A = this chain, B = another copy of it.
Amino acid sequence: MVDAAGRRRDARQAGAAMKSRDAGPTLKDVAALAGVHPTTASRALDPAKSHLVSEETRQRILQISAELGYQVNAMARSLRTGSSGLIGMVVADVSNPFLPPILRAIEHVIRHEGLMLLIAETHDDSRTMQEILGHFARRRVDAIILSAAHQGDLEVVRAAAASTPVVLAVRSVDGGKFPTVTHDDRLGGRLATQHLVELGHQDVAQLRGPEDVSSFSGRSAGFYSVLAETTAREVGSGLVAASPTVEEGRRLTAELLAAPGDRPTAIFAHNDQMAVGAMDALREAGLSCPRDISIVGYNDAPLADHIDPPLTTIRLPAAELGRRVARLALEQLSEEPVDTSTVRLPPELVVRRSTAPLTA
């Protein structure tokens, strides 16, 4: 067996039988076997420049490259060209059911352009986010898609944006000038609340997510904007979940039901998990949904249509959002002037059986 490179093989003699995987052919190897200069080999293998090489030598190089199983070293290339071909994506939590469809759309667009997506989770921890942004900076990602921002992260995001283009997805940040694609949480909150009011409900509660996340503050704003236009009123205003989980939804609702004073006849939960938790709490209190209390969720999570009762909820335009975010991120790669406006896609109301007219 001929060793094209003839380097580093002595290690075999010295050490114990090492895996032979370490080396891998380089462009130099390909060039040597083809009897050309590395530059020529480089040109032949680059579709954008292969026209500079005679058809004959091009074919020879291509064939040898294939025979050797040559794969360019992306790090060497990136170092030289200044572009890593990586887009960094920061999410709060992959298991949040609205994310996968968005990720899928983004990845589709990104990979179509020959780039790769680097995904990392913050678990809504600001320090973790900073760590991740550091990683991304060191890897010289070409752009960052950030869908894990809290309002308090403004300065951190600004710092990251100083060295790498940043696009905000899903969650916006006030005060910064970042290109953003989200969906209209305020409208979503309005749709949910309006639906309840139209069903005749006058005593409405909401289960709020953390208010320093734009998604949740937007939903709250929508909720209040509808109340302001009607005679309906909020019951129990302090219901903010530390994290918007099933368990928190259950706990907050149990508190709400146990509190003295009026009981709501409808609840707007800021996501489906909390809505489901609310259902649990009702059941434990001997109440029934929707007979005693109507519930609206948010996100239209998988199986939300199969729970008992099927959940009325708000659906996001996930695929469209993902595509837009990806395209926006790609636009940042060119030297064009950056559009820092915010795109807000409209969500829609999905009516199922967890909501019903108020029974006098």
- Taking CB atoms, residues of chain B closer than 8 Å to A303 are 276, 301-304, 306-307
Bits for A119-141, please: 1 = Cβ < 8 Å to B, else 0. 11100000000010011011110
Question: Could you give, for residues 212-233 of chain A, a 1 whenever the CB lies within 8 Å of some chain B CB and a 0 otherwise?
Answer: 0000000000000000000000
CB distance from A18 to the nearest CB of B (A): 6
A84 within 8 A of B: yes
A242 within 8 A of B: no
Whether A349 sits at the interface, judged by CB under 8 Å, is: no
Partner of A75, one of B71, B79, B159: B79
Contacts of A308 in B (CB 8 A): 306-309
A75→B72 contact, CB < 8 A: no
Name which of A75, A139, A163 has the most chain B CB atoms within 10 A of its CB: A75
For the complex, is A21 an interface residue (Cβ under 8 Å from B)?
A: yes
Interface flag for A76 (CB, 8 Å): yes
B119 touches A162 (CB 8 A): no
Tell me how many chains of this kind the complex includes.
Answer: 2
Interface membership of A54, Cβ < 8 A: no
Of A120, A140, A302, A308, most B-chain CB atoms within 10 Å: A302
Residue A19 interfacial (CB < 8 Å)? yes
What distance in Å separates the Cβ of A284 from its nearest Cβ neighbour in chain B? 14
Interface check A164, CB cutoff 8 A:
yes
Question: Interface residue count for A (Cβ, 8 Å)?
Answer: 59
Chain B residues near A99 (CB-CB < 8 A): 94
Known: A163-B24, A306-B279. A138 touches B71 (CB 8 A): yes
Chain B residue at smallest Cβ distance from A22: B82
Q: At the interface with chain B, which of A100-108, A177-185, A254-262?
A: A100-108
Chain B residues, CB < 8 A from A117: 119-120
Q: A243: CB under 8 A from chain B?
A: no
Cβ of A118 < 8 Å from any Cβ of B?
A: yes
Q: Which residue of B lies closest to A23 (CB)?
A: B163
Q: Which of B107, B120, B121 contacts A121 (CB 8 A)?
A: B107
Closest to A272 in B: B303
- A13 at interface, CB cutoff 8 A: no
Tell me the complex Cα distance, A265–B105, Å: 41
A interface residues, Cβ below 8 angstroms from B: 18-19, 21-22, 24, 69, 71-76, 78-79, 82, 84, 93-95, 97, 99-101, 103-104, 107, 111, 116-121, 131, 134-135, 137-140, 159, 162-165, 273, 276, 279-280, 301-304, 306-309, 335, 338
List 29 A-B pairs, Cβ < 8 Å: A18-B335, A19-B335, A21-B163, A22-B82, A69-B163, A71-B138, A73-B79, A74-B140, A75-B75, A75-B78, A75-B140, A76-B79, A79-B79, A93-B100, A94-B94, A94-B99, A95-B101, A107-B121, A111-B120, A116-B118, A116-B135, A119-B119, A276-B303, A279-B306, A280-B306, A301-B302, A303-B307, A306-B307, A308-B308
